Amino acid sequence: MTDHVVILGGGTGGTVLANDLADRLETELATDKVRVTLLNDDPDHVYKPVWLYVPFGQREPEDGRRPLADLVDDSVDVRIDRVTDIDTDTRQLRTRRGPAIEYDYLVLATGSTLAPAEISGLAEGGHDYYSESGAKTLREELLSFTGGELVLSVIGSPHMCPAAPLEFVFMADDWFRERGLRDDVEITYTYPIQRVHGNPHIAEWARPLMDDRDINVETFFNAEAVDPEAETITSMEGTELDYDLLVSIPPHRGVDLIEEADLGDNGWVDVDKHTLEADHADRVYAIGDAADTGVPKAGSVAHYQAGVLAQRLASEVRGRPATATYDGKTLCFIETGMDAASFVEFDYEQPPSPAPPSQKLHWSKLAYNESYWLTARGLL
Amino acid sequence: MSTPDTDPAATVDARGAACPGPLMDLIGKMREVDSGAIVCLLSDNEQSVTDVPEWVEEAGNELLAVEEREDHRAFYVEKQ
């Protein structure tokens, strides 16, 4: 009998997992004891961290795309199709184009989607760098922006890459200073809770930097509506801000399939945060953004969770007890300007302690972004 | 403060979630309900003891009651 592992989603988590399984289960794959299928609705793998640099003219969206087939080991069956239904009772997936797919183990690596329509006027009045099209449009806006109110509003939480909103305002501050425009640009950062970041240690580190750099801060600001004509954004708490350029972190959701399969709310899968097993179905797992573990929705998290799950799945396939567990490990570089960055590392037990910003860390971040393709291929 | 007689329009179970998850879950639910509706937030995160009342006041809503339960708290918030 052949065990079939199906991975849904070809982002960082799904791709690293597929390649890790290809390596770890090389013998079982060669002897048909196991099959691994990776399903993705886009033939390309997309590396989203590139988008932060696009508005500042430093990277192109194409830099973050490579064909999935070039990244994934040949022993993995890569199928480009969209899953329309998950039946965890019969262990079947239905897809848009192909026949139903039966699985023995299902991994949901379905990531995040943006839901700007949840906030009235946001799609029309706001810009973002959390999508390829958004980053490109924002680049055009920023290049022609020579003065006025720039508002960065964090609306969605949880959202991808929790450091990126701080990075954007630090980079914008530096970018406008370098171009001699900073005195003409007012930068305001809004955040939904009473500090500037969800993690209190990162918030405590970032706030003085923001004050030093004349970045205005509005906390307890949960955007309720945007008026694109009046160029205002108002919050549930009753604050109204004028803007000339609004950059937002839109509300995030997982894919509808998750809720339809009763695996969790808002597209996030309820999981055991150590084993990554779904709470509401057997032989179903989730990694990366799709897994509701409480850790950031970040590429490093997806990468480490994929490594843990590969070990657990290999143990299952071999009929051994699965012992590997995820400890919440998260790594994150945080740009503090155009040529300096900090770095944090933390897990479920150990809080982050941001490193002093340096040019070395900035170059380390850029170097990692280049070498990411080795990570995707399971080599780093 | 005492537990309201009216059943909550929605209950948000954020037990097990790390900060600021419970507060963000509450805010998300408050977006969805109508004025006058009561939302019950279940949280076992200590930070919620200060986070929730601070936000509720800031947003002009009303914290009707905080119920101490065996291993968590129930916060009853009315949307104004």
Q: What percent of chain A has pLDDT over 70?
A: 100
The strand pairing partners of A120, in sequence order, are A225
Shared domain check, A277 and A156:
no
Which of A198, A230, A251 delimits the end of a domain?
A: A251
Shared domain check, A152 and A194:
yes
Shared domain check, A20 and A74:
yes
Task: Say which CATH superfamily domain B10-78 falls into.
Answer: TusA-like domain (3.30.110.40)
**What ipTM was estimated for this complex?**
0.90
pLDDT in tens, A163-216: 999 999 999 999 999 999 999 999 999 999 999 999 999 999 999 999 999 999
pLDDT in tens, A302-334: 999 999 999 999 999 999 999 999 999 999 999
Shared domain check, A142 and A236:
yes
| Selected residue of B12, B24, B56 to mutate for chain A interface (largest A Cβ count, 10 A) | B24
Q: How far is B1 from chain A (nearest CA, A)?
A: 23
pLDDT in tens, A3-61: 999 999 999 999 999 999 999 999 999 999 999 999 999 999 999 999 999 999 999 99
Q: Does residue B2 carry a pLDDT above 80?
A: no
Domain range enclosing A306 = 3-112+254-317
Q: How far is A350 from chain B (nearest CA, A)?
A: 13
Q: What integer pLDDT is reported at residue B73 of this predicted model?
A: 95
Q: What integer pLDDT is reported at residue A156 of this predicted model?
A: 84
- The answer to whether B58 contacts A237, with C-beta atoms less than 8 Å apart, is yes
Q: How far is B70 from chain A (nearest CA, A)?
A: 22
- The answer to whether A237 contacts B17, with C-beta atoms less than 8 Å apart, is no
Domains contained in chain A, number: 2
Q: What percent of chain B has pLDDT over 90?
A: 76
B19 is catalytic: yes
Q: Is residue A336 part of a domain?
A: no
How many C-beta atoms lie closer than 10 Å to residue A18's C-beta? 30
Q: How far is B8 from chain A (nearest CA, A)?
A: 19
Q: Is residue A360 part of a domain?
A: no
Please report, as a single letter, which amino acid is at residue B25.
D
Shared domain check, A246 and A123:
yes
Q: How far is A238 from chain B (nearest CA, A)?
A: 7
Q: What integer pLDDT is reported at residue A354 of this predicted model?
A: 97
Q: Does residue B5 carry a pLDDT above 80?
A: no
Shared domain check, A108 and A179:
no
Backbone angles phi, psi at A375, to 5 degrees: -60, -50
Q: Does A238 touch chain B (CB under 8 A)?
A: yes
Within 272-311 of A, beta carbons closer than 8 Å to B belong to: 273, 294
Tokens 């946001």 sit on residue: A122
**B23 to chain A: nearest residue by CA?**
A193
Q: Does A183 touch chain B (CB under 8 A)?
A: no
Q: Is residue A326 part of a domain?
A: no
Q: Which residues of chain A lie closer than 8 angstroms to B11, CB-CB?
A: none
Q: Does A115 touch chain B (CB under 8 A)?
A: no
Q: Does A144 touch chain B (CB under 8 A)?
A: no
Q: Active-site residue among B1, B3, B13, B19?
A: B19
SS3 for B35-76 is CCCEEEEEECCCCHHHHHHHHHHHCCCEEEEEEECCCCEEEE
Q: Which residues are CB-contacts of A378 (< 8 A; sequence separation ≥ 6)?
A: A16, A19, A20, A22, A23, A73
**A295 to chain B: nearest residue by CA?**
B18
Q: Is residue A357 part of a domain?
A: no
The strand pairing partners of A241, in sequence order, are A233
A–B: how many Cβ contacts below 8 A? 43
pLDDT in tens, A203-250: 999 999 999 999 999 999 999 999 999 999 999 999 999 999 999 999
Which of A223, A251, A279 delimits the end of a domain?
A: A251
Within 122-141 of A, beta carbons closer than 8 Å to B belong to: none
Shared domain check, A161 and A211:
yes
Confidence of residue B1 (pLDDT cuts 50, 70, 90): low
Chain B residues with CB under 8 Å of a chain A CB are 16-21, 23-24, 27, 30-31, 51, 54-55, 58-60
* Domain boundary assignment for chain B: 10-78
- The answer to whether A193 contacts B17, with C-beta atoms less than 8 Å apart, is no
How far is the first Cα of chain B from the last one, in angstroms, to the nearest whole number?
17
Shared domain check, A281 and A243:
no
Q: What integer pLDDT is reported at residue A379 of this predicted model?
A: 85
Shared domain check, A129 and A78:
no
Shared domain check, A247 and A207:
yes
Q: Which residues of chain A lie closer than 8 angstroms to B21, CB-CB?
A: 158, 294
Q: What integer pLDDT is reported at residue A378 of this predicted model?
A: 86
Shared domain check, A190 and A176:
yes
Which of A317, A337, A364 delimits the end of a domain?
A: A317
Q: Which residues are CB-contacts of A72 (< 8 A; sequence separation ≥ 6)?
A: A10, A15, A18, A19, A22, A38, A78, A377
Q: Which residues of chain A lie closer than 8 angstroms to B30, CB-CB?
A: 236
pLDDT in tens, B27-53: 999 999 999 999 999 999 998 999 999
Torsion sign (Cα): B41, A204, A190, A115: negative
Shared domain check, A294 and A222:
no
Return the structure tokens found at A48: 């989203």
Q: Which of B16, B30, B51 sits opposite A193 (nearest CB)?
A: B51
Q: Which residues of chain A lie closer than 8 angstroms to B19, CB-CB?
A: 198, 200
Q: Does residue B73 contact residue B42 with C-beta atoms inside 8 Å? A: yes
Average pLDDT over all residues of chain A: 97
Sheet holding A92-95, edge to edge: A83-87, A92-95, A101-102
User: d(Cα A7, Cα A197) in Å, to the nearest integer?
Assistant: 32
Averaged pLDDT, B45-71: 94
Q: Does residue A116 carry a pLDDT above 70?
A: yes
